[in-house]
Structure 1
Amino acid sequence: MNTNLQAVGMIEFNSIAMGIETADHMLKSASVNPLMMKTICPGKYLVAVHGDVSSVQSAVDAGLELAQSAMVDYLVIPNIEPAVVSAMSGTNASEITSTLGIIETFSVTSAILAADSAVKNSDVDLIEVRIAMGLGGKAFFTLTGDLSNVEAAINNAAEVVANNGMLVRKSVIASLSAELKPYI
């Protein structure tokens, strides 16, 4: 997966059929490429596209117009942090230091938006963005770094997600147990 993307747009749907129909419409309405298109729990569908900022914005706008009430959440991120794209695909190689930060959200798009903000605004390493499979439609991300940086990143990310009512919980664990690290 290419991690150096100009812009990413994403729409999360409560209908698989509408998600697939809207994905087709988005790809036909603007010069964008598919990044991720898949079913997620519980019976939702996720569409992510990438391209230049104006094309991604046009595709998302076209998708929102068609999706209407089937839309759960959406985002457009210009200059998305490459670590976020890697973490979405499970290819980050970051090792957990002693401090772990966690943000849990009610939507995938909120977690991705918050993860991007956290990494851009603090000196932390993103470990993973877990996307709503086996999570009841929720998502979460984990990051690591020095305690003060992790606290700043988690507080920043929580603010981003709380603004749209999608924050489930935030957590910072200083001196994470060595026995727990392999399970994160």
Structure 2
Amino acid sequence: MVNALGLVEYLKVPTGMMAADKMSKTSNIDIIHAATVCPGKYIVLFKGNLSDVKAAIEGGTIGFEHNVIDSFLLGNPTEQIYGAISGSTSVEIKGAVGIVESYSVASIIEAADIAAKTSAVTLVEVRLARGMCGKSFFIINGELSAVEMSVENAKKHLMESGMLLDSAVIASPSPNFIENLY
């Protein structure tokens, strides 16, 4: 049973690749995204049962500490997170749009999960540092009050870790803006 999501973010690409290989050999996980991200970092995002994801994080950080930027273990992530990360979410935007930006990949995935679980919103996209100099963001959609509440909870989480960069809520986005949203 898959009930956990993990990520380790590395400073250097070869180290990240070596750690990803070690994690996949020593833990029963499914790597769902392993890639170079801006500015030349490497991330490994994986899922599995809670104990395997925890073991993979330990295996991917022990011995690599000098190259680990961030990591997380997320139990029972929202199912929306997978489509939003992979870019396979197809959403008809109705109502308000919320955008939250952070300084790291790991922190934005955690914040997106919090936002999606806070209220009835749809997670539209989670952008993982692609073309953003290491920053990341997520976009949510829903009724204005739900979007505002979700954005506030995500911001609170990111402020506590010092990772919040910026946020916005657009109450009634224009059709032209929506056509070019993602």
Q: TM-score w.r.t. structure 1 length? A: 0.94
Count residues with an aligned counterpart.
181
Counterpart among 47, 52, 63 of residue 50 in structure 1: 47
Question: Partner residue of 2:172?
Answer: 175
Question: Residues 22 and 66 of structure 1 are in contact (CA less than 8 Å); yes or no, is this contact kept in structure 2?
Answer: no
- Alpha-carbon distance, 1:28 to partner: 2.1
Determine if the alignment matches structure 1 residue 9 to structure 2 residue 6. Answer: yes
What is aligned with 2:65?
68
In the TM superposition, structure 1's runs of 4+ consecutive aligned residues that sit over 2 Å from their partners are none
For 1:151 and 1:76, the matched residues in 2 are separated by 26
What are the Cα deviations for residues 8-63 of structure 1, in whole angstroms up to 9, with x where unaligned?
A: 11001110011011111212222212111111111000111211001101110121
Pick one of 136, 148, 160 that aligns with 1:139: 136
The gaps in structure 1 that reach 5 residues or longer are none
Deviations, residues 46-86 of structure 1 (Å, cap 9, x unaligned): 11121100110111012121221211111111111111111
Shift of 1:158: 0.9
Structure 1, residues 78-131: CA drift from partner, whole Å, max 9, x if none? 111111111000111122223110000111111111101111121101110111
Identity of aligned residues (%): 36
Contact 1:95/1:127 (8 A) holds in 2: no
TM-score, normalised to structure 2, is: 0.95
For structure 2, the residue ranges without an aligned partner over 5 or more in a row are none
**Which of residues 71, 95, 100 is equivalent to 1:98?**
95
Measured in 1, the distance between the counterparts of 2:144 and 2:59 equals 42
The whole-number CA distance in structure 1 between the counterparts of 2:79 and 2:2 is: 7
CA contact (8 A) 1:29 1:59 kept: yes
CA distance in 2, matches of 1:5, 1:80: 10
Structure 2 residue 117 is matched with structure 1 residue 120: yes
Amino acid at match of 2:46: V
> Distance between the aligned counterparts of 2:177 and 2:67, measured in 1?
39
Q: Name the structure 1 match of 2:33.
A: 36
